[in-house]
Structure 1
Amino acid sequence: MSSFPGFEKPEESAPKKEEEPIEAPSPSKQVPPPEMKPAQPSPALNPLLSQPKHSPAEVGEEATELPPYVFPDASLLQSVQEDPAKAQEREEEARRNMEIINETLSAFSAGARAVSYKIGPSVTRFDVQVDPNVQVNSLYKYETDISVHLAGLPTRYVPIIPGKTTSGFEVGNRKREMVSFKEVFEALPKGPEHNLCFPFGKSIDGNVVSGDLSACRHMLVAGTTGSGKSVFMHGILLSLLMRNRPEDLKLILVDPKSVEFVAYEDLPNLLCPIITQPSQAKVALDKLAKLMDKRFALFSKAHCRDIRSYNDYYAAQHHKKRVPYIVVVVDEYADLAMQCKEIEGPIQRLGQKARAAGIHLIIATQRPDANTISGTIKSNLPTTVCLMVKDSTASMVCLKQKGGEQLLDHGDMLVDCSSLGKELVRCQGCFVDEHTDLAAVPDFIRSQLPPSYDPEFLDLEEAPLVDSSPTIEAPSTAELRAMGDEEKYQQIKSIIMTQESTSISSIQRNFGVGFPRAGRIVARLQKEGIIAAQSDANGSSKGLKVLVRVDPNPGGVDNGSTPGSRSSASTSYSEE
């Protein structure tokens, strides 16, 4: 049969041979598979393996036996009893104010009405239900009108109330409830893990609002005179003192007024005596920054992330001395920064890194303006307590929104803390009695242990800047007058060539010459290339840069050559 075009007949394949059966090898002949060993990383590829591990003997100090210590308890604090008559007056006042608020909103056809109220220690919140076709933010404009109809009571509108579907108007109470420090202290969380807890105060709902320095990190406290700023800081300090041993908590108190922290003198918790001078505060903060670096090196050797993991795990397991927490409280920061502008540097550095090292900052000021509380400083103080401030500008610096100017005095505050939520929390700060609470607790601690200052923080005098380079003394005015013009110029030039910069005014002051002569000297020095033709930056206070500088011979001038001449001193040329 002929095949179709394009198709060829396949060739016949050769007959297949019968395949021989494969015998399974006997068990005795089986070869065991090679043993698989895990690959070992090369030390050269992993730098961590090439570094020697630190033994516990090389990390930290050995723990010693602590002296006996009794914690101050709440029995030392003053109790405050609420008068039932005042509570009844606040209830009647709230009902009247609610009627006035509804009448005002109805008169303006605001599309909202107060449906309930909650009486707090210092303010009453009226819950406002807004009609579906009305914007919530439109009620801001009625704050002033409602305050006028309420006979001038401070009124603040809150568009969002966490946990509620209503907005609110916060109106100050004429009869306020006192919140005692004892009440809020007893409500703080218990346990060694809450040793850094402190009270903010009592909220409108009647709950105690507290914070933890471990979560708050660093804090800014702002408030005018009479706002309760100092009392609030006393509440923080007493809470920390009553919940920590002196070996576990150290304080650095900066008191420019010299009277605010006098109750804490000679406490065993103080790292150094109370600081009153701005220069001493700068030195103390610089030393604290160095201590922070030492602590990070210690934690790195112990393979710990922060102070709590080191104290609770490494120090406990290896019988090492615990690292104390350090709380720095700076009062009147605005005045301090005006007198010592360099203090912003260490505060910024500590604010960025010090939390993990167990160092926390509490900065207080009466004038929270942008000049003293810069954006960098504010960003490193994440927790803000704003008491009554002067105006809305100060409130914007503290809270990035208005409202601080509408607060009441004596402890009424707005708290911006991430651990409390995204919205601001309004609460009434606790009252610390100056003659009972503030005296009993420090006296009880002082009666048990003497002061124990850190030797590194006892010398807080700023070291003077010493110029190690040899200089040539300027001749007196009488000597200059006796010289000729050329000799006088060479003498002035030799001294200028040992400096970094000069100017016409500095030549006038240092050499007693008039303005025209000083101008001619500067012009000749520029022509000879000794000084720059113009300053490095416009408006620079340093003057003109010296381009040719000399290193005068400490032993004097040899061979009778002119002082400062290029033959008598080694010359260096500054590169532009």
Structure 2
Amino acid sequence: MVGSVWAVIGWLALLAVGSALMWPRSSATAVREVPGVIDAIDLPARVIWVGGALLAAVVAFFNWLGRSRQKTGDTPMLAYDEPVAVAPAGHPDFAQAYPPDEVVDVDYSEHQPTLDEVELAVQGGDIPKPDLRIDADNPAPQVERAPEHPWRVPAINLLVDRTQEPSARIDNTHRAALIEKTLASFGVDSKVVQINQGPTVTQFGIEPGWEVKTRAVVEKDERGKSVLDRDGKPRQRVEEVSRTRVRVNQITALANDLALALAASTIRIEAPVPGKPVVGIEVPNHVASTVTLRSVMESPPFQRAVTRSKLALALGQGVTGEPIVADLTKMPHLLIAGSTGSGKSVCLNSIVACILMHATPADVRFVMVDPKRVELASFGVIPHLAFSSIVTEMDKVVGTLQAVIHEMETRYKKFATLAVRNIEGYNRNPKVSEPLPYWVVIIDELADLMMAAPFEVERQICRLAQLARATGIHLIVATQRPSVDVVTGLIKANFPTRIAFAMSSQVDSRTILDMAGAERLLGKGDMLFMPTDASKPRRIQGVYVSDQEIEKLVAFWGAQRLRSTIASYDHLLDEAKEALEAEAAADPVMEQARELALEHNRISTSLLQRRLRIGYPRAARIVDQLEQEGVVGPAEGGGSREVLTRSDEEPAEEPYD
């Protein structure tokens, strides 16, 4: 608006009109006094003023004329902010728009034009011209990039946006006064200083008081004689002897008495609350609130965590209502234990659903082992599965874990080639064309695996837990029987992060957490979360994911699986099977199995387990090997097999099956 003379004149006229409208009297006075001012100016000043105005007008006119010619000239001019699209030389659009005989590629590697040369070129002068020839047979090398996967993550509105159910009106002030009164009745001085109401329990922060010891002292006058009162008795005063804090053990020992006074089924005392100088008394609410997965995923802590890791997990809400978020890459393995109906399977479903909400198959792959056949069956059609199906057969579990171990060893070889330490460094390396995805191995029931093949399963799980973290392979193992023969000391040592749901006894709580407390949980998602960097567990109400939400999420990914292709790792299963068969062929107990088969008319897998003291997968492989050698016949459905070749030196014995 200020680039031309007419624009300047227009602005001045607009200023004059605006001044006349806003200040009419002052403008009229100024107009009446203008002739007097002009008459007062002498002639030389008038000439200078008029000449300067004319000179400025002439300069503005020539500038406007030069710009008009520049816009209508032969040389196109581009604005500074106008984008310029250039197709590479090897692109098909480039070859179609510009024939090879008309293309000129300017190489400024040896000559860069200066500003003076550019101005001379605009004025029509000659400048030194660089070599404009190109090599059409040898185009510039193109940088290879990994193909982009056409995966789309689901929107957050796929989950149910159900607000928390309002709990019944609780008079926490009355309950706090009742706690103080109950403790005082047992001689424990205390005061409630904090009240934190959560979705399941309300935490009362108790500050221990003082134990004051006093004594009665007879008052005496200056002469050392006792001072008498009106009745003629010596006057006494109470004097404080000592003041000590109330011990925490005095409060924790009254847990059952507090539960009786509060009419609560059970209470849990956390002494002290981490980071606070109070003792926490957790009293159950009359009505528990439901914590949805969407409410935790929309919280700021989860949004920050998901930007840093593809394995961010929304666990639930704490006793104060704050969202609890964890990162599986930092755990790095998770052990879950809980009795039937405590919320263990819902926790597994919520973990898988949370990862599916923000991770594509190019980022995360799952290996699911479900001996129950129904807990993880809903996720059988998602494209995130590393293998073609969920493992449900017990005789395939050992081969599946061995396939995961082979993948781990393969990744370590790739890391050694590029001299990187972990999967993050490998994926950031510019030499990598396709990043490696994370693997999450989920085992729903560890007790069934330990009963079938305790030695092989324990050895493979411990090997993965010790070495698989750097390769991006993480384990989530769940069990409903946390006994010492299932959760062995070697497994506990390699699973520092644990989640304990409601337990049936204090012994089970000590097995999973190394401390009591889980036997006092309420069930239905109430859990204790023990992270790696904490010395005490944290009480959480776990998130709830309904079957309808899981069906929508699985249908969303199942539709993309039909439209897109994803690489499968089933070849690892074949390699693991061949390795196990080779191991079975070289099994040191193979000869003993042959001798045992020749002593009986029929043998079974359980017979080999008892006589040779081996696990079920190993015994099953030996029976299959004996069938291939022609020693025993095929399976007949009863569990035992007929021995085809038998020694005639002694009579055959029937197995005790």
TM class by shorter chain equals 0.5 to 0.7
Distance 1:411 1:95 in 2: 27
- Which residue, 502, 521, 537 being the options, matches 1:388? 502
Q: CA deviation at 1:265?
A: 0.9
Structure-2 residue corresponding to 1:430? 543
Identical counterparts, % of pairs: 30
Determine which structure has more spread, i.e. the larger CA radius of gyration: 2
Q: CA deviation at 1:260?
A: 0.7
Structure-1 residue corresponding to 2:412? 296
Structure-1 residue corresponding to 2:474? 360
Q: Secondary structure at the match of 1:418?
A: coil
Q: Does 2:356 match 1:241?
A: yes
* Matches for 1:382-461 after TM superposition, within 5 Å: 382-419=496-533, 421-435=534-548, 437-450=549-562, 452=566, 453-459=568-574
Q: CA deviation at 1:508?
A: 10
Q: Secondary structure at the match of 2:324?
A: strand
Q: Is the 8 A contact 1:105 1:113 kept in 2?
A: no
Q: Secondary structure at the match of 1:422?
A: coil
Distance 1:405 1:468 in 2: 48
- Which residue, 50, 66, 69 being the options, matches 2:148? 66
TM-score between both structures, scaled by the size of structure 2:
0.60
Q: CA deviation at 1:97?
A: 2.5
Distance 2:525 2:601 in 1: 60
Distance 1:396 1:274 in 2: 32
Distance 1:428 1:508 in 2: 59
Distance 1:206 1:140 in 2: 24
What amino acid is aligned across from residue 134 of structure 1 in structure 2?
A: V
Distance 1:467 1:352 in 2: 25
Structure-2 residue corresponding to 1:206? 321
- Which residue, 139, 160, 169 being the options, matches 2:251? 139
Cα 1:293–1:175 change in 2 (3 A) is same
Q: Which has the higher helix share?
A: 2
Q: Is the 8 A contact 1:246 1:268 kept in 2?
A: yes
Structure-2 residue corresponding to 1:286? 402
* Matches for 1:329-344 after TM superposition, within 5 Å: 329-341=442-454, 342-344=456-458
Q: Secondary structure at the match of 2:281?
A: strand
Distance 2:593 2:544 in 1: 57
Q: Secondary structure at the match of 1:286?
A: helix
- Which residue, 268, 273, 276 being the options, matches 1:156? 268
- Which residue, 417, 438, 442 being the options, matches 1:325? 438
Distance 1:202 1:96 in 2: 25
Q: Please, what is the CA RMSD of the aligned residues?
A: 2.9
Q: CA deviation at 1:171?
A: 1.1
Q: CA deviation at 1:220?
A: 0.5
Q: Secondary structure at the match of 1:113?
A: strand
Q: CA deviation at 1:175?
A: 1.0
Q: Secondary structure at the match of 1:128?
A: strand
Q: Is the 8 A contact 2:204 2:280 kept in 1?
A: yes
TM-score between both structures, scaled by the size of structure 1:
0.68
Q: Does 2:421 match 1:308?
A: no
Distance 2:466 2:584 in 1: 33
Distance 1:352 1:166 in 2: 38
Q: Does 2:187 match 1:109?
A: yes
Structure-1 residue corresponding to 2:59? none
Question: In the TM superposition, what whole-angstrom CA distance separates every residue of 1:292-334 from its partner, at most 9, and x where no partner exists?
Answer: 11111111111111001111x21xx225211110000100111
Structure-2 residue corresponding to 1:168? 280
Of residues 211-220 and 456-465 in structure 1, the stretch that sits farther from structure 2 once superposed is 456-465
Q: CA deviation at 1:163?
A: 2.8
Q: Secondary structure at the match of 1:397?
A: helix
What amino acid is aligned across from residue 251 of structure 1 in structure 2?
A: F
What amino acid is aligned across from residue 335 of structure 2 in structure 1?
A: L
Q: Is the 8 A contact 1:266 1:446 kept in 2?
A: yes
Structure-2 residue corresponding to 1:493? none
Q: Secondary structure at the match of 1:318?
A: coil
Q: Secondary structure at the match of 1:413?
A: strand
Cα 1:541–1:293 change in 2 (3 A) is closer
Structure-2 residue corresponding to 1:5? none
Q: Is the 8 A contact 1:332 1:366 kept in 2?
A: yes
Q: Is the 8 A contact 1:392 1:403 kept in 2?
A: yes
- Which residue, 159, 173, 176 being the options, matches 1:77? 159
Question: In the TM superposition, what whole-angstrom CA distance separates every residue of 1:198-230 from its partner, at most 9, and x where no partner exists?
Answer: 011101121111110111100001111111111
Q: Does 2:489 match 1:375?
A: yes
Cα 1:75–1:541 change in 2 (3 A) is closer
Structure-2 residue corresponding to 1:251? 366
Structure-2 residue corresponding to 1:91? 170
Q: CA deviation at 1:423?
A: 2.8
Which structure exhibits the higher relative contact order, with contacts defined as CA atoms closer than 8 Å and separated by 6 or more residues? Answer: 1
Distance 1:510 1:213 in 2: 52
Q: Is the 8 A contact 2:164 2:291 kept in 1?
A: no
Query: Tell me, which stretches of 5 or more residues in structure 1 are unaligned?
Result: 1-61, 470-497, 513-538, 543-562, 564-576
Number of aligned pairs?
419
Distance 2:447 2:294 in 1: 31
Cα 1:449–1:511 change in 2 (3 A) is closer
Distance 2:470 2:584 in 1: 38
Cα 1:295–1:77 change in 2 (3 A) is same
Q: Is the 8 A contact 1:280 1:461 kept in 2?
A: no
Structure-2 residue corresponding to 1:494? none
Distance 2:377 2:294 in 1: 22
Question: In the TM superposition, what whole-angstrom CA distance separates every residue of 1:338-397 from its partner, at most 9, and x where no partner exists?
Answer: 122221111000011101010000000101111100011011111001111111111101
Q: Does 2:297 match 1:177?
A: no
Distance 2:370 2:426 in 1: 32
Q: Is the 8 A contact 2:406 2:572 kept in 1?
A: no
Q: CA deviation at 1:430?
A: 0.7
What amino acid is aligned across from residue 448 of structure 2 in structure 1?
A: D
Distance 2:327 2:584 in 1: 47
Q: Is the 8 A contact 1:189 1:197 kept in 2?
A: no
Q: Is the 8 A contact 1:63 1:322 kept in 2?
A: no
Distance 1:502 1:310 in 2: 49
Q: Is the 8 A contact 1:387 1:413 kept in 2?
A: yes
Cα 1:456–1:541 change in 2 (3 A) is closer
Question: In the TM superposition, what whole-angstrom CA distance separates every residue of 1:411-442 from its partner, at most 9, and x where no partner exists?
Answer: 111110024x333211110110111x211112
Distance 1:369 1:307 in 2: 35
Q: Is the 8 A contact 2:426 2:432 kept in 1?
A: no
